[in-house]
């Protein structure tokens, strides 16, 4: 049996002061921005949906769904804004406006951008990309937010796992590291603890013959640095 969800809509009198197209009681809307609130801890979850407010959609956030499934009767939803344009990108851009104001210490949202989840296969408009970039720049995440992000990604493979970098991408990475030495390991040293962890992680790993041949071939054509030649002379 499906439980009824209590809907907390904004006061209609508020919209009477605005232009008519923004009113939620218009018949034809294509999506909306919503906010769920957990009464047990005051945490919120902001999301968007392309559809109607009574089509059974709840939300897609991992932490949010986990909490909601445990105690659905403790959650209430209110509609923050209705979207009257048949444009999914506009729905996401409007959601982003609310995410920019979110309190990250009291939320079930795991990411600060409206697209959420995996980006694989998604195509974003230029304006949406600019909005995501602007939001991410200079924004410091709280320890709790970082912890939530880490928890949601544990056990998942990186989105680019097994995808080789294009030559153009490699050149960009190389150029960036050369121009910003502090981004890499240049001039830095691993601590003994880090070295120990690296060593432990490599123990028991066996390289295939193909990998050995590739490494051998690469090292043969790579010229020795002056430091390495000097080290060999000392030996």
Could you tell me if residue 208 is inside a domain?
no
84 lies in which domain range? 1-153
Could you tell me if residue 76 is inside a domain?
yes
Could you tell me if residue 211 is inside a domain?
no
Residue 83: how many other CB atoms lie within 10 Å: 22
pLDDT, position 132: 64
* Domain CATH number, residue 50: 3.40.1440.10
pLDDT, position 186: 67
Could you tell me if residue 169 is inside a domain?
no
pLDDT, position 195: 86
Could you tell me if residue 87 is inside a domain?
yes
pLDDT, position 123: 58
pLDDT, position 17: 32
Could you tell me if residue 81 is inside a domain?
yes
Statement: the pTM of the whole predicted model exceeds 0.95: no
pLDDT, position 72: 94
Domain count along the chain: 1
Could you tell me if residue 187 is inside a domain?
no
Q: Give average pLDDT by consecutive 10-residue segment, the chain, 235 residues.
A: 40 35 59 94 93 90 91 94 90 90 85 66 62 69 80 78 85 85 72 86 82 80 70 65
Quote the strand ranges of the chain, DSSP E. 7-9, 31-38, 44-50, 75-83
pLDDT, position 234: 63
Could you tell me if residue 62 is inside a domain?
yes
């Amino acid at each position: 049996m499906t439980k009824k969800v209590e809907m907390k809509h904004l006061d209609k009198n508020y919209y009477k002061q605005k232009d008519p197209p923004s009113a939620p009681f218009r018949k034809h809307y294509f999506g909306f921005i919503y906010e769920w609130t957990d009464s047990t801890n005051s945490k919120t979850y902001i999301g968007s949906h392309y559809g109607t407010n009574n089509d059974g959609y709840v939300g897609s956030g991992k932490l949010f769904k986990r909490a909601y499934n445990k105690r659905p009767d403790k959650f209430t939803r209110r509609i923050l804004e209705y979207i009257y344009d048949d444009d999914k990108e506009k729905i996401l851009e409007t959601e982003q406006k609310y995410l920019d104001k979110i309190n990250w210490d009291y939320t079930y949202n795991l990411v600060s951008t409206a697209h959420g989840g995996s980006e694989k296969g998604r195509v974003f408009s230029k304006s949406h990309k600019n909005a995501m970039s602007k939001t991410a720049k200079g924004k410091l995440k709280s320890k709790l937010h970082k912890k939530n992000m880490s928890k949601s990604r544990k056990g998942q493979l990186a989105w680019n796992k097994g995808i080789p970098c294009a030559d153009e991408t490699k050149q960009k990475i190389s150029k960036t590291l050369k121009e910003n030495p502090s981004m890499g390991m240049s001039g830095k040293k691993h601590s003994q603890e880090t070295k120990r962890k690296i060593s432990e992680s490599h123990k028991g790993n066996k390289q295939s013959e193909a990998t050995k041949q590739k490494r051998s071939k690469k090292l043969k054509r790579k010229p020795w640095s002056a430091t390495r030649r000097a080290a060999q002379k000392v030996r």
